[in-house]
Amino acid sequence: MSSSSTRLRRAGALCTDATWLGRADCHHCAVRKDVLFGELEDLELNAILEPIDQYCHPPHSVLYHVDEESSHLFTIRAGLVKLVSHRADGTLRIVRLLGRGDVVGLEAMLGGRYEHTAVALARSDVCRIPAAALRRLDARSPALHRRLLETWRSHLTRADESITELSTGSVRDRVRNLLIFLQRATQDRTGALALLNREDLAAMIGVRVESVSRVIAEAKRNGILRPLGGERYQLDRQALRAWQGQTPSV
Amino acid sequence: MSSSSTRLRRAGALCTDATWLGRADCHHCAVRKDVLFGELEDLELNAILEPIDQYCHPPHSVLYHVDEESSHLFTIRAGLVKLVSHRADGTLRIVRLLGRGDVVGLEAMLGGRYEHTAVALARSDVCRIPAAALRRLDARSPALHRRLLETWRSHLTRADESITELSTGSVRDRVRNLLIFLQRATQDRTGALALLNREDLAAMIGVRVESVSRVIAEAKRNGILRPLGGERYQLDRQALRAWQGQTPSV
DNA sequence: CGTCCGCTTGAATAGTGTCAAGGTGGGTGG
DNA sequence: CCACCCACCTTGACACTATTCAAGCGGACG
């Protein structure tokens, strides 16, 4: 068998850069209540001296690289970002998927270097916040402070979930959990989920592309995944649970 | 194949309870600098109104159960504690190992319930800190605040490591990483590592007991692990790296 | 219209899980 | 003090699953 995970995707031809959308206007931000500054007073917000910039990241563009000096955090206004860990043998593993309202680059709060590479999977609008500004706010605003702790907790909970649900059991077990996970992470008002490409799916559960492909293809044949066009699918939760009997357990 | 992980160990005959060692005297604590209150002023420490108690946990005793109201955090003065996640199918997975200087039950800072069950693996001396006290200190002492953030980061880093190094690749790959990991986690001044029982090893890397056993036995035959008596072993790092060529990669 | 890239599928092989049987060491009770 | 017992570790044989390597397929795009 040997290793799982995925090799580095060749330097994509379409890896365009992020485009700057201008200074953020947090006071009038439409998603402010869903992200870090939700409960912050306007007064407190004004205490930020450093600029917060907005960017639009096309798919495959990089928010930051592993080992880069961590100077900024990012909040996701819309889109989807993967945190990729580079293993010693050159393979990759996706350790987290982050979406609207999530914070990327938390480690910048503590200085040092980024621990992963953050890559946009879908077009993503993000606000780039200087870590120094957040540190200052963190010290002054209990509301933000609590929000930050909750962000840490959220990352930790998801990491643990990734260990117990996405890295344990047979490929079919993992894909079953992955589909539920993706539905939560990418669903729109209709409840449809956006499937990632096979390489990313494989890197999320630590198996080979062909193995995921077989299982996903099976799910489609069984009507567990019904194509809605593009990469969007309707997930039949009931059929999903019944799929291949329970976990054989033991 | 089916699931990995390990079933619940029968209610151990020796699961004695923790014994109370009395109120902690943080001011004269020998390991204070290594744990949460390291850089705290004596004045700040005095601001704690609620009592901090010391306990000694024998092996297999439980610090707290999953879903229990999270009211306290624990700092480990000595010993080894596992964080166990209970999966829907009844199997268990160890998501983290914590030792001297580590904090257990971080989630209590945010209220709600514990997300894992914490079980002592070796005899462990811990201080039990009321979450309310820590929340108050967190708001007043920047030093403690930073220390807490670093604790969150440490947990997150280890969780990610668990995903990339202990849940990815062949069983031999994982055991190789696990041995390095255990050496860091349990080494004494001689550099020897303490091996866990096969069931716990299996639950750490998400495979079956027999699979770990085979690989560990192989490591012993190859001189990678040299028995020092009891559960202590000398790890030959060089032989470890050469073991079975590199990860076959791809 | 042809090429390229990602997805699927097939066949052979290696790796794990499964089930069952021994071995070993420490502890208990006779 | 010794024999037995029990829990845990190891090993074997076999079934099943995942990986590997290779080929085919179809859509997107120039």
Classify the C-alpha dihedral B179-A208-A159-B119 as positive or negative: negative
Contacts of B173 by beta carbon, 8 Å cutoff, 6+ apart: A2, A3, B247
**Looking at residue A27, what is its pLDDT?**
80
A contact residues 140-199, partner B, Cβ 8 Å cutoff: 142, 145-146, 149-150, 152-153, 155-157, 159-160, 162-165, 167-170, 173
Element (H, E) at B44: helix B42-46
Distance CA A85, CA B209 (A): 28
A contact residues 9-48, partner B, Cβ 8 Å cutoff: none
Helices (H) and strands (E) in chain A, counts: 7, 13
In chain A, which residues have pLDDT < 70?
1-15, 49, 245-250
Q: Which of B1, B139, B146 sits opposite A142 (nearest CB)?
A: B139
- Using a CB-CB distance cutoff of 8 angstroms, which residues of chain A are in contact with residue B67? none
In B, minimum Cα distance to A155 occurs at B156
Distance CA B210, CA A73 (A): 44
Q: What are phi and psi of A234, to 5 degrees?
A: -95, 130
Say if CB A83 and CB A104 are below 8 A apart.
Answer: yes
- Amino acid residing at B240: L
CB proximity B102 to A under 8 Å: no
**Looking at residue B234, what is its pLDDT?**
94
**Looking at residue A249, what is its pLDDT?**
37
**Looking at residue A73, what is its pLDDT?**
97
**Looking at residue B15, what is its pLDDT?**
56
Q: Which of B1, B91, B167 sits opposite A170 (nearest CB)?
A: B1
A-B Cβ pairs (cutoff 8 Å, strict): 143
Residue-wise pLDDT tens for chain B (250 aa)? 444 444 433 333 445 688 888 788 777 777 777 778 777 777 777 777 678 999 999 999 999 999 999 999 999 999 999 999 999 999 999 999 999 999 999 999 999 999 999 999 999 999 999 999 999 999 988 889 999 999 999 999 999 999 999 999 999 999 999 999 999 998 788 889 999 999 999 999 999 999 999 999 999 999 999 999 888 999 999 999 888 754 443 3
Say if CB A249 and CB A242 are below 8 A apart.
Answer: no
- Using a CB-CB distance cutoff of 8 angstroms, which residues of chain A are in contact with residue B110? 146, 149-150, 153
Q: Which of B109, B115, B170 sits opposite A1 (nearest CB)?
A: B170
Say if CB B139 and CB A142 are below 8 A apart.
Answer: yes
- Using a CB-CB distance cutoff of 8 angstroms, which residues of chain A are in contact with residue B82? none
Min Cα separation A235/chain B (Å): 20
**Looking at residue A34, what is its pLDDT?**
77
User: Between the CA of residue A90 and those of A4, A8, A161, B162, what are the distances in Å?
Assistant: 11, 7, 24, 17
Q: Which nucleotides of D are covered by protein (CB under 7 A)?
A: 8-13, 16-22
Contact across the interface for B95 and A164, Cβ inside 8 Å: yes
At A159-214, the pLDDT tens digits run 999 999 999 999 999 999 999 999 999 878 888 999 999 999 999 999 999 999 99
Distance CA A149, CA B69 (A): 18
**Looking at residue B12, what is its pLDDT?**
39
